Structures are given as C-alpha cells and as structure tokens.
C-alpha cells in the first residue's frame, strides 16, 4: 500500500496494490500497522459503515465534536464520488481549506480524514456504494455540519446544484463562519 499526503498534509490518500488477472483481482484494503507507521501515531477503528446512493446525492459536510470526534478512512466499493475534507481546526495554517479526491470502485483509492475535519461526498455515477471506518462511535448529541454550498469554502462539487439531492438535515446546515470549529487539534505537520 502506498500513502501520499495531500495539500493539507494531515489528509492522506491511501492507494492499495491491486493484483489482477483474467479471473478477477485481489486487494488488501487495510493494514493498520502500515498506516500507523506512515502516520506516526496509533489509530483504532471501532466501526465500519456503508451507504448506497444514487446520482447527485450529496452527503455532508459532517463531523462530530469531542469527545466523539472521528477519524474516517473512506473508500468507494462501486461507482464514483467526489470526496471532500474541510479543515475546521482553528489555528491551523489550512483552516477553512479543503481537499477533493475522486474515489471510484476502479481506482480503489481511500482517503484518511482525521479528527478536526468536516467531510462530505457527492455521487457522480448512476449509483455508488461508499464504505468507511471510524475510530469513534456515532453520537447524535455531537453530530454537526456545515453548508455544502458555503461560498467562503469555494468547493467545486463537479455537479450543478440543481442536480444535487440532499437530506433535509443537509439543506439546513450553518455557514462555515457560524459552525462550531475545533479549538485544540493542531496539525502534526506545521
């Protein structure tokens, strides 16, 4: 497995080695020891989640506050999505910046989204199956979000707003400036 830092060094792209032939393929999708060696810190995933969505579904931008903040390791099993992570750590050099990565069932890339980031994705194929690991359990009391279309974030979702399908929850999220940000999480790379 190869690991690559993005423009925001705490967000990591994980690219597994795929071994294939005319019969199909084999891929090792997760190695905790290799990931921890690259990160330089321990990570303990405790829950796996999966969602299936149709074209235009946008989920996000979501995050959880402490003590239930989460690191996510996200991937697409089938289809194609644009995955977005927004830095919401006050004091970070990249506060308010984001990283976008196209994830597909074919490229098998994964993105590690650390604590202190809001996360979302939009489906760009007819449908997509999205899977992710988290290192903390879901807590409705700590669940928060940011408006996906906040102009200050300048996210290009690669899809016209008229074609997007959002949950009622995601149509009512606050703007970035009004959202709750993380106060005590710093980048390990600044």
pLDDT of 100-134, one tens digit each? 999 999 999 999 999 999 999 999 999 999 999 99
Name the active-site residue from 62, 98, 119, 181.
Answer: 62
- CB-CB contact of 98 with 11 (8 Å): no
Domains of the chain: 2-178 (2.60.120.10)
Q: Give the whole-angstrom CA distance, residue 67 versus residue 57.
A: 29
Is it true that the peptide bond before 120 is cis, omega within 30 degrees of 0?
no
pTM: 0.95
Name the active-site residue from 63, 98, 119, 132.
Answer: 132
Give the DSSP H/E element, type plus range, for residue 37. helix 32-39
Longest dimension (CA), the chain: 53
Q: Give the whole-angstrom CA distance, residue 95 versus residue 25.
A: 39
- Full pLDDT tens readout for the chain, 190 residues: 999 999 999 999 999 999 999 999 999 999 999 999 999 999 999 999 999 999 999 999 999 999 999 999 999 999 999 999 999 999 999 999 999 999 999 999 999 999 999 999 999 999 999 999 999 999 999 999 999 999 999 999 999 999 999 999 999 999 999 999 998 776 666 6
132 is catalytic: yes
3-state DSSP call for residue 32? helix
62 is catalytic: yes
């Amino acid at each position: 497995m190869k690991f690559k830092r993005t423009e925001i060094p705490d967000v990591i792209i994980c690219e597994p080695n795929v071994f294939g032939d005319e019969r199909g393929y084999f891929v090792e999708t997760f190695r905790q020891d290799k990931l921890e060696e690259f990160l330089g810190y321990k990570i303990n995933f405790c829950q796996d989640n999966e969602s299936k969505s149709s074209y235009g579904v946008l989920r996000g931008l979501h995050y959880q506050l402490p003590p239930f903040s989460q690191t996510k390791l996200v991937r697409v099993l089938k289809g194609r999505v644009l995955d977005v992570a927004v830095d919401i750590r006050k004091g970070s050099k990249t506060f308010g910046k984001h990283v976008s990565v196209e994830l597909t069932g074919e490229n098998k890339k994964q993105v590690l989204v650390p604590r202190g980031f809001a996360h979302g994705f939009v489906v760009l194929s007819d449908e997509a199956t999205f899977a992710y690991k988290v290192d903390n359990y879901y807590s409705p009391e700590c669940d928060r979000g940011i408006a996906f279309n906040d102009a200050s974030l300048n996210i290009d979702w690669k899809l016209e707003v008229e074609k997007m399908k959002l949950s009622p929850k995601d149509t009512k999220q606050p703007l970035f400036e009004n959202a709750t940000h993380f106060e005590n999480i710093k980048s390990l790379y600044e």
